[in-house]
Structures are given as structure tokens and as C-alpha cells.
Structure 1
Amino acid sequence: MTPSEIYYCYRVLELKPGASLDVVDQAYRDLAFVWHPDRIPADNQRLRKLAEEKLKELNQAREKLRSVLHRSPPSSTVRQTPSSQPKTATPRYTATTPVSTRHPASANQSSSYPQPQSSQATPSSQTYQSHPVTQTPSKPIPTHPRRPSAQPDMSGADLRGADLQEKDFSGRNLSGADLSQANLSDAFLHKVNLSGACLYQANLFRANFLQANLSYANLQEANLIGADLSGADLRGANLTGAKVGTGDRIMVKLTGAVLTGAVLPDGSVHSS
């Protein structure tokens, strides 16, 4: 591979060039756990397809880097461990599309998506598969279709301590809402308006805040590990003490996020 291809593979895994094979495998496991399609509702085919494509990209980047790092001599810049024992292969996560989104699976059917393994590796390497979706015939459109009712305005709502796991609040107005200590893990919050909302100590594990408005929100001591804040507006937000990773590894996606004036987890203020 060319140096530019290697650099691209490291970027896909959100690593700096030159990271060791162990670091590559760990980054792959972390990102595959976050992006696995199993956490996308079965009826949201668009997001499910995006997750499948991301997982496929992660698989390809990991395989290319493994082939390069396996060929690297011991004297290379990548530090090698003295152990002579062969390393256990990192599992390659797979994704398959469910046969039907309208009927529950029978007892003898296997699960549509295998559960991701975040810490244990298996000796065998599986291949990424993607099968076409089998859709049920659409129902005839009635002569006078009912217009969908407008979503209620939830600005200022009191949702303290509420269990909202995997709920879909995409595009909703929750500005000024009190969500302190609420459980929003795996929730879908695309383009949601949470401006000035209180999310103190909220569980936002793997929550999807794509292009959400979190300006001046209180995110103190919130659990943001695995959350996707790509394109989110975090201007003036308070993230003091928020959990954003393990050790020196940041496990929050902030691609394109606006952090001007935000108070970072260490108490410093982001200036640009």
C-alpha cells in the first residue's frame, strides 16, 4: 500500500500513523462496538445502511493495517512485544439485514445481527456480509390519507431521571428541558434542539447527537462515552467532569462539532 493509503486507514480507525498492531486491534473493537448495526432500530433502514457501510470501512482498514504491520521488521518504529507466542486474531464483526421488519423472528431463526464483543477476541475471523432487504408488500394508499400529527413541543419538559433508552427524539424541541440523571443511552437525537437543557449526570452512552443543538447545555458529569456529536453545536456548553473516554483515549465522535466557548471536561475553555 502507498503511504497515503496507510494514513487513510489510520484515520478511519481514528489513530495516529505508526500505532502498533495491538492499538489498531483495540481501536477496531471500540469503534465496531459503537457502530454496530444492531443498535439501530430495524425499521430505520437508512441509518442501518450507514452503520453497515461504516462497519465495512472499519473492517477493510483493520485488515489492510494488519497486513502491513505483520510484514514490518522487528526494527521498525512500531514497538514489538518480546513474546514469541502467536497473537489471537481480533474478531471481524459481521452485519446481516433482517428478512422482515414487520414480523417477529421465529424461535429457530438466528438473530439478524450478532452482538458485538467489546473485550474478548475469538481465534477465527469472520467476513462482512450484507444481504438485500426483503420487504413486505406495501399496503394500498387510502383515498384520504391521514396527515401525521405534528410532534409536540417538549421545551422545558421535566424528564429528570427518566428512562429514555433507545428512544427517538430526532428533530424534537427539548430546549431548556431538565434531563438530569436521565438514561438516554443508545437514543436517537439527530438535529434535536437541546439548547440550554440540563443533562447533568445523564447517561448518554452511545447516544447519537448528529447535528444536534447543545449550545449552552449543562453536560456536567454526563457519560458521553461512545456518543456521536458529529456536527453538533456545543457553543458555551458546560462539559465539566463529563466522561469522554478511558485513559488517554477519547471515545466521543466530534467530527465537525462547534466547541467555541465550551467548558471542556478538564475545566478549560475552548477558545476557537
Structure 2
Amino acid sequence: MATKNRRAAVEATSTDTPVGRLFAVIELASKMGMISAADIVYMLDLPRPTAHRMIATLEGLDFLQKMPVKGKYAVAPKLVGLATAILSSTIVYAPIQTLLATVAQRTGETCGIALMAMGEVEYIASVMGQSPLTLQFQAGQRAPMHCTSSGQVFLANLDAEQLARFLATGPWEATTEFTVTQPRMLADKLRKVKSQGYAKNDSEYISGVVGAAVPIRNREGQVIAALTISAPRSRRSLDEISAMVPTMRTYADRIGRIL
């Protein structure tokens, strides 16, 4: 029964074949953030020699990378790039773009989808708003976690251990005079983000730009992406952007069902 519960906790990929075991380890790493051989043994019910062999194979393929924490490994940039490329090149991408276009039409503002990638957020899709004075985020563009609304959505939904590790990397660089750079101040903000279910941003990343982000969850309720919206503060107030959050949530739910 204990083994069955552990496997359910990671929404187990079949480990009956060598390929299945490799994908199960990748899935585990993506959900836990960092893993060790002991995690693989316990969570996937695999022998310790097999766990070490899986890690060595995935590290050799540049899909996992060794972390500063002894014995821990995390998803490597090559695998993150592969996941982004797959999403952008499959039939899944077309309906996502259609939904983004609808959000942009209903709000009149630029919207996009962001993933968490190696300590940053990466925009994988965007649609520009209809106003002549608008913003644009190109697919593949990256931004910091601590000062973007999408990044703060991801951080607010980390477990306590993962969030503590991120906060330990601060203080961070200020990109504007409004950037939150101190870990304690960011932790306070993230508690509010988690409580209200969305993040809002007023010139923390780019001066004169306001924005908001809501989580995109999969069927298991895990945050897998963020839906963002942004506008020049000269044309939209932060309150006006915040009033768009219910619409954003509706479409984030629809995008989550596709992903």
C-alpha cells in the first residue's frame, strides 16, 4: 500500500521498461524541483543501482544537471528548451494562440503565457493588444522571477523548502526603483499572492508598466504556467488591470485543460 501511495503522489509514469523509467525520473524531477537517488528509490520503488544508472544516463544526455546541494539533481536547460520547442511545434499551440487572442481582444492588452525555466520565467507565446500604445513579449524572451507578476505566481506556489532555497539567493538586482530586492519583503508579497490567487505588478520590472498574472494549472491542480497581461501605466491603472483578473482566470482554466 505504501508503494502504491508513493507512486500516486508523482502521477506515476510506467517503470516497466528502461525508457519508461527514464521518463518517470524526468517527471519526478520536474515535479520535485530537485531529486536524489534516494528520492527515486523511494518515490518510484526502483533499486538503488537502477536509480544511480538513470541519473547518470540523464546527466550524460544533458537532461539533468548536478546541483550545489550534495547528491541533488535538477532538470537541465536542454530539457527545458526541448519542452518549450515541443509545445510550440505541436497542434496544442494553435488553440492556445486562439485563446490568447481572445484574451487580448476582450481586454485590449498584450497577454502571454510564461513557463518557469531555470530560475527565470520564459514567455512561450504572446498576443499584442489592440491599442497603438502597447507592449510586446517575444516567444523565448526571459525575465527575472522576483520582479515579474508571472515569476511571483510561480514562487508563491512553490512548497516551503523550494521557496526557502529561492529566497536564500537574495537580495536581488533592482531593475527599477520599485523592484522588491529583499527576501523578507518578497516573502511577504508572495503570501498575499498565494492568498488572493494572482500577482499584480506596478513598475517592478519595467518602469511605467503595470501587469498581472494568474496561474495555469493542470488537471492535478499543479501550476504549470502563468497567464500574464501588461500595459503602459500611462493608459491603464493597476486597478484596471486587476479588474481583468476574473477574465484571465477563465481563460487560464481553458488553457490548463489543453495543456
Give the alignment's TM-score, normalised by structure 2: 0.30
Bigger helix fraction: 2
Give the alignment's TM-score, normalised by structure 1: 0.29
Higher relative contact order (CA 8 A, sep 6+): 2
Bigger strand fraction: 2
